[in-house]
Structure 1
């Protein structure tokens, strides 16, 4: 909190931002301005809502502080920047960026809001360091709709790979270094993103579809056709890193691809040792690297799923109930900050205070429990609980009456 305090000119928002971030880490059944304000001991949610909506502070500046904080404490010369998107299912049509679209969260097409995140993944831990909201054409083609949600009416449509390029460029332009980028097929299939990374001298291991075409010395082939041509000796059993059930072993092969541009290009293929299922990756490195390095980078992509799971489960990343863009960017930035704090504490504890052999190392979940129980637990009396019960019922009664009035006034 001291690190970002300078972003707030008044003491009141500085104090409230601390309460909000602690509330994001608290063990609340739902995390929004109402529940966090009640937990923090405030009389109404007005102050929290003002902080997210109308208060004067720059969420992008806090994002930059967060990025510096994560890199400083989780620094790794071989860190991987992982790009991926996640969606939040929403109701209605007024929440910024919402439309019917596919989201992996639901596993199907839903009315949802999708954002692209950049995760810093190193040996000491991982945390999100940047975010961009995906604004579909159904919004950018309607300036009035953008204006109503707090977006610039001239907001231009940007694809998810373009948003990823924007965040990676921001990371590198800030003076930070990461030799590798990883991502799924959405990003690996985009030649502009690959070219942008090569121009910056940044290596990548990006998944591509089975029908992705590559040029070899023998001509142009689909990735799955090339895989069938590989001899048995081309495959190596290697681990993509440790998972919940031990090392994740696969069979791997790679094919050098000729290219007029500098650097080294490969098509890498992963084969499941049980099912035989294949996955394909476009790879680039400024200098020659062994297959084990490419496999390690490919395995780092799973860290983004762990980041999403922890960010949503521990820090309320997906529980925002806001409609405007400024409120969304502030909420997710603070949720990212809350999770980053847990990741940094975990990394420091593992390094400086390793536990006994009969205990697993401290997890982010356990650190959050201890923090709230021992440091930040709020105890409020019956009067406070009753006041909030009355406030909620009064607010809901007004909302109900307003809804009935609009319904009655609507044409038959």
Structure 2
């Protein structure tokens, strides 16, 4: 018996998902993989499985539910394939690695690893689930790498070792190094900047770092240390959208400290507003103060970008209690995020070189970019906006189809098919081996 071909969605999604085809031997499983990517990319407010089922034309959400909960596909294989494609996209180029954690408020205590704990993005202790995440920054492009769940001591199974968040970050870094990723600078907040374990691993692998520290950092308070605050330097803080604002940076010189320098960055050197003043330490050379403020700002880029990904792609929208299933959901979100990153990178490269990158490169046709809502700016969020416009007719068609079963309209059907065929001419970018 000949296996049937998987149902198409929209070309830009299908081309990306085809790179993972071998991971899903069953046709229906692969179709659900594609449907979830379409749903996560769509602009429906909440990415629940019933809502995704509607926009991809399924009668109910049960096939999607089975895909996340019962289907035997491997989250490890999916991650490995995504990271392999990431390396092809990078083509050996170095990037900046950002370690960050994210948490989401969750009610009750039936979900694995949900506990009352500090939720960084909420800035307080609450009931929720937390993960440690690694993202890359290449120019103004952000792309996802690896996440690991944080297991609170009181929620881990008997015999399972407890790992702190810095230990999880170390595990991520060593995995990326083992896979051959080339990052030249590590950025992280004060949880990691105050961790000797984390810093010793960076020094072991000779990876430069720029890490946040607390204002009462230990080195500032030792009685035998002499702490000198150097004159303030003014610099232009450049944001991810290209806008600039005036900032100030000051080196903090500490006796007996040669390889590490300390700095504080602020919006106002006179009042040092608490929420707008940051303390950092780095092993980068001490004469680049005007650059350090913008380098550390990359951490905020990724924090903002990941927050977008969470809000836009549905990171916290799962209704699952088992972590193996939650992990699958999160890895699917990472995959959808990477689809956008790939497309954003293709736009960046075509803007720079004005050359085709591969047979499937995305050089945006003029007629597409004439849409009144098309975003001509580069970057992840602008690219997501444009991808949503591309998949929009397909989604609208799936939403209107149930009415056409009652009130058949040939012209409406032909009109939708025509516009969907046009949208299918928009090609997705899939990286190929440079060799």
Instruction: Give the TM-score taking structure 1 as reference length.
Output: 0.79
- Determine which of 81, 92, 97 is the counterpart of 1:81: 97
1:276 and 2:275 correspond? no
Shift of 1:298: 0.9
Shift of 1:255: 4.7
Match of 2:323 in 1: 325
Mean Cα displacement is larger for which, 100-109 or 58-67? 100-109
Match of 1:160 in 2: 165
Structure-2 change in CA distance of 1:327 and 1:244 (3 Å): same
SS of equivalent to 1:322: coil
Preserved contact between residue 229 and residue 253 of structure 2 (Cα < 8 Å): no
SS of equivalent to 1:172: helix
Preserved contact between residue 113 and residue 152 of structure 2 (Cα < 8 Å): yes
SS of equivalent to 1:361: coil
Preserved contact between residue 116 and residue 160 of structure 1 (Cα < 8 Å): yes
CA–CA distance in 2 between the matches of 1:218 and 1:76?
46
Match of 2:412 in 1: none
Mean Cα displacement is larger for which, 172-181 or 6-15? 6-15
Paired residues in the alignment total 363
Structure-2 change in CA distance of 1:282 and 1:179 (3 Å): same
Match of 1:25 in 2: 41
- Determine which of 346, 354, 367 is the counterpart of 2:386: 367
CA–CA distance in 1 between the matches of 2:44 and 2:346?
26
Shift of 1:118: 0.5
Preserved contact between residue 309 and residue 337 of structure 2 (Cα < 8 Å): yes
SS of equivalent to 1:301: helix
- Residue deviations 1:242-290 (CA, integer Å, cap 9, x gap): 2558214322233566779xx93211221323643442112124x7873
CA–CA distance in 2 between the matches of 1:77 and 1:212?
34
Task: Please show how residues 3-402 of structure 1 align to structure 2 within 5 Å.
Answer: 3-73=19-89, 77-140=93-156, 143=157, 154-214=159-219, 219-220=224-225, 226=227, 229-232=228-231, 235-243=232-240, 246-255=243-252, 264-273=259-268, 275-277=271-273, 278-285=277-284, 290-353=288-351, 360-362=376-378, 363-374=382-393, 377-380=396-399, 381-382=401-402
Match of 2:3 in 1: none
Shift of 1:219: 3.7
Structure-2 change in CA distance of 1:334 and 1:108 (3 Å): same
Preserved contact between residue 198 and residue 284 of structure 1 (Cα < 8 Å): no
Preserved contact between residue 233 and residue 290 of structure 2 (Cα < 8 Å): no
Structure-2 change in CA distance of 1:259 and 1:325 (3 Å): farther
Structure-2 change in CA distance of 1:289 and 1:230 (3 Å): closer
- RMSD of aligned C-alpha atoms? 3.1
Structure-2 change in CA distance of 1:384 and 1:34 (3 Å): farther
Structure-2 change in CA distance of 1:303 and 1:372 (3 Å): same
CA–CA distance in 1 between the matches of 2:239 and 2:175?
30
Preserved contact between residue 314 and residue 365 of structure 1 (Cα < 8 Å): no
Structure-2 change in CA distance of 1:128 and 1:237 (3 Å): same
CA–CA distance in 2 between the matches of 1:201 and 1:289?
20
Shift of 1:215: 7.9
CA–CA distance in 1 between the matches of 2:122 and 2:29?
35
- Residue deviations 1:174-203 (CA, integer Å, cap 9, x gap): 001101110111111101000001101111
CA–CA distance in 1 between the matches of 2:33 and 2:316?
18
Preserved contact between residue 102 and residue 110 of structure 1 (Cα < 8 Å): yes
Structure-2 change in CA distance of 1:106 and 1:124 (3 Å): closer
Unaligned runs of 5+ in 1: 144-152, 387-412
CA–CA distance in 1 between the matches of 2:168 and 2:201?
12
Mean Cα displacement is larger for which, 108-117 or 274-283? 274-283
Shift of 1:34: 2.0
